[in-house]
Amino acid sequence: MTYKVSFSNSSIKEANVVLFGVPDQSGCKYAKRQGTKYGPNAFRKATYLIDLNDPYAKNKKLKIADYKNIRKDMVEDTVRKFISQNKLPVIIGGDHSITYHSIKGISKEVDELSIIYLGAHYDTVKSIKNYHGSVLYEISKLKM
C-alpha cells in the first residue's frame, strides 16, 4: 500500500517543495539485513499526524507536494525536472545508492554544488559500482 504524506498541502504545480520516494535496495544487495525499500512508505505512514494547515504552524509559505514513488533509474531526470521548475526535491529512500543519482541530477542544473554528507561511515568504497558503500567515491568522479 502506498501512503500519501499527510503534511502534503499543495498540488505539484503550486508546490515549492516536492517529495518523492525511491523504494529501492539494489545498492545493498550484499547486506544481511534488507528492508530499505520500505523506507518511503514507512516515512509517509509515520507522518500521518503532521498537519501544515494547522493555524499554529509557523511556516505558511512552505508548499509541499507528494509526487509518488519512482524507480531508481528515474531519479536523475526527476530531480532535474523539479529543480528546473525552482522546486526543492526531497528524496526518500531506499538505500544510499540513490544519492549518486540525486547529486548527478542536481549537478546538471546548478553552477555550484557543495555537499555535506553525514553518516555512520564514509561510503567511499571504490571496488563496487552502484553499491551503497561507494556513494561518495562515485560522486567524486562526476564531472561538475
Q: Provide the CATH number for the domain around residue 38.
A: 3.40.800.10
Give pLDDT tens digits along the chain (144 positions): 555 666 788 899 999 999 999 998 877 766 677 778 888 888 888 887 676 666 776 666 888 899 999 999 999 999 999 999 999 999 998 787 888 899 999 999 998 888 887 766 677 777 666 666 777 788 888 877
- Residue numbers of the domain that contains 96: 17-140
- Quickly list DSSP for 32-84: SS--GGGHHHHHHHHTTT--TTSTT-S-SS--EEEEEE--GGGHHHHHHHHHH
Residue 84 has a pLDDT of 96
Residue 142 has a pLDDT of 84
Residue 6 has a pLDDT of 63
Residue 6, SS3?
coil
Query: If 0-12 CB within 10 Å is exposed, 13-18 middle and 19+ buried, where does residue 23 land?
Result: buried
| Residue 7 domain-assigned (yes or no) | no
Q: How many structural domains does the chain have?
A: 1
| Residue 1 domain-assigned (yes or no) | no
What pTM was estimated for this model as a whole?
A: 0.81
| Residue 11 domain-assigned (yes or no) | no
| Residue 4 domain-assigned (yes or no) | no
| Residue 91 domain-assigned (yes or no) | yes
Residue 95 has a pLDDT of 80
Distance of CA 74 to the CA centre of its chain: 12
Distances (CA, A) of 102 to 10, 54, 79, 92: 23, 31, 6, 11
Give the contacts of 112 (CB within 8 A, at least 6 positions apart): none
